Structure 1
Amino acid sequence: MNNQNIIEKVSVPYAEALLELAQTSNLLLEAGQDLLFISDTLSNSKDLQTFLANPLINVLAKKNLLNELFKSRINNFILNFLLVLVDRRRISLLIIIINKYLELSYRLESTTIAELSTTVALNEDQQNSLIQKIKVITNSKNVKLVTNIDSNLIGGFIIKIGSKVIDASLAGKLKKMSFYLNTN
Structure 2
Amino acid sequence: MLVVKIAVPYAEALLELANANSSLKETTNDINIVSQFLANSSDLKKFLGNPLITRDAKKGVLKDVLGEQIGEKTLTFLMLLVDRGRIAYLDGIAYKFLELSYKEESIEIAKVTSSVQLSAQQQKTIAEKLKKITGAKQIKLALKVDPQLIGGFTIEIGSKLIDTSIRGQLKQISTLLGAV
TM range (shorter): 0.7 to 0.9
Per the normalisation by structure 2, the TM-score is 0.77
Q: Compare 110-119 and 135-144 and name the one that shifted more.
A: 110-119
Per the normalisation by structure 1, the TM-score is 0.76
Matching of residue 15 in structure 1 with residue 32 in structure 2: no
Q: Secondary structure at the match of 1:145?
A: strand
Find the partner of 1:168 among 164, 171, 177: 164
Task: Note the residue ranges of structure 1 that are not aligned, 5 or more in a row.
Answer: none
Q: Distance in 2 between matches of 1:100 and 1:72?
A: 24
2:51 aligns with 54
Kindly, what percent of the aligned residue pairs are identical?
41
1:121 aligns with 117
Question: CA 1:174/1:76 → structure 2, altered by over 3 Å: closer, same or farther?
Answer: closer
Deviations 1:135-179 (A, max 9, x none): 010010111122333334443333222222223334444544555
1:35-184 pair list within 5 angstroms: 35-43=31-39, 44=41, 46=43, 49-50=46-47, 53-54=50-51, 57=54, 59-60=55-56, 62-177=58-173, 179-180=175-176
Backbone CA RMSD of aligned residues:
3.0
Question: CA 1:165/1:10 → structure 2, altered by over 3 Å: closer, same or farther?
Answer: closer
Is the CA contact 2:45–2:88 (under 8 Å) kept in the aligned structure 1? no
Is the CA contact 1:42–1:49 (under 8 Å) kept in the aligned structure 2? no
Question: CA 1:159/1:52 → structure 2, altered by over 3 Å: closer, same or farther?
Answer: closer
Which of the pair has more CA radius of gyration?
1
Question: CA 1:157/1:22 → structure 2, altered by over 3 Å: closer, same or farther?
Answer: same
Task: Note the residue ranges of structure 2 that are not aligned, 5 or more in a row.
Answer: none
Q: Distance in 2 between matches of 1:183 and 1:48?
A: 40
Shift of 1:102: 1.4
Q: Distance in 1 between matches of 2:112 and 2:176?
A: 26
Q: Secondary structure at the match of 1:140?
A: coil
Deviations 1:98-144 (A, max 9, x none): 22211211222222222223333332222212211110100101111
Q: Distance in 1 between matches of 2:14 and 2:99?
A: 12
